[in-house]
A and B are shown apart, each in its own frame.
Chain A
Amino acid sequence: MNHDEETLRELLHDAATQAPTFHGIRAYGAPPPATPIAVPPIPGGRVYAPPARRGIRWLVPAIAASVVAVVGAAGLAWFASAGSGVSSGEGPSMAATPAEGGVTAQTGDPGGGGMMSCVAAVNYRGRTYYGVGDVRRFPVGQALPEGASMPGCNDTGGAPEPATPLAAQSIPDVSPDKAIMTEGSIWVADLDAVPAEIKALLKPFVCTKSASVSQVTLLGSMGTPDSSGRLTPPYDMQAEVSADQGLDIGDLASVRIDLRMTAASQEPSDPMALQDAMMNQTPVPATFTCDGDTFVVEQIG
Chain B
Amino acid sequence: MNVRDPRVEALAREHGQNLLRVAYLLTGGRALDAEDLVQSVFATLLERGLDGVDNPLAYARRALVNAHNSTARRAITERGVVARLPDPTGRIADRPTDAVEHRMVILPALDTLSADERAVIVLRYYADLPDAEIAEMLGCARATIRSHAHRAFATLRRGALAHLLKEDT
Contacts and interface: CB of A to CB of B under 8 A. Distances in A.
Contacts of B124: 114-115
A14 B101 CA distance: 11
A267 to B, nearest CB: 15
A117 interface: yes
Contact of B66 (A38, A220, A224): A38
Contacts of A161: 132, 142
B131 to A, nearest CB: 6
Nearest to B132: A156
B91 A221 contact: no
A69 B158 CA distance: 14
Interface string A8-50: 1101111111111110111111101101111110111011111
A41 to B, nearest CB: 10
Interface residues of A, number: 92
Nearest to A68: B169
**Considering residues A30, A133, A227, A272, which has the most beta carbons from chain B within 10 angstroms of its beta carbon?**
A227
Contacts of B62: 39-40
Given A9-B126, A39-B45, A279-B114, A220 B154 contact: yes
B165 A8 contact: yes
A133 B169 CA distance: 6
A174 interface: no
A292 interface: no
B140 A50 contact: yes
Interface size class of B (residues with CB under 8 A): 35 or more
Contact of A28 (B2, B74, B88, B130): B2
B98 interface: no
Contacts of B86: none
Interface string B103-137: 11111110111111100011111111111111011
Contacts of A28: 1-2, 4, 46
Contacts of B132: 153, 155-156, 158, 161
**Chain B interface mostly helix, strand, loop or mixed?**
helix
Contact of B53 (A15, A42, A58, A153): A42
B4 to A, nearest CB: 7
A223 interface: yes
Contacts of B76: 229, 272, 275-276, 279
**Chain A contact residues: helix, strand, loop or mixed:** loop
Nearest to B87: A20
Contacts of A20: 20, 24, 31, 34-35, 88-89
Contacts of B94: 226-227
- Among B16, B116, B140, B151: residue with most chain A CB under 10 A: B151
Most buried by A among B70, B94, B102, B127: B70
A62 B19 CA distance: 29
Given A9-B126, A15-B103, A113-B128, A223 B112 contact: yes
A4 interface: yes
Contacts of A246: none
A62 B47 CA distance: 40
Contacts of A25: 8-9, 12, 16, 39, 42-43, 46
A16 B153 contact: no
Given A18-B103, A48-B66, A227-B83, A164 B141 contact: yes
B142 A2 contact: no
A248 interface: no
Contact of B158 (A35, A156, A222): A222
A2 B167 CA distance: 9
18 contacts: A15-B25, A20-B24, A22-B19, A46-B136, A46-B139, A50-B140, A56-B147, A69-B167, A114-B134, A152-B142, A220-B154, A221-B112, A222-B155, A228-B83, A229-B79, A231-B112, A238-B158, A272-B76
Closest 3 CB pairs of A and B: A14-B103, A66-B150, A19-B24
Given A9-B125, A114-B134, 20 more contacts: A14-B103, A15-B103, A19-B24, A21-B17, A22-B20, A25-B9, A32-B43, A37-B70, A46-B136, A62-B154, A117-B131, A118-B146, A120-B143, A155-B131, A221-B112, A224-B159, A228-B83, A229-B28, A278-B114, A281-B114
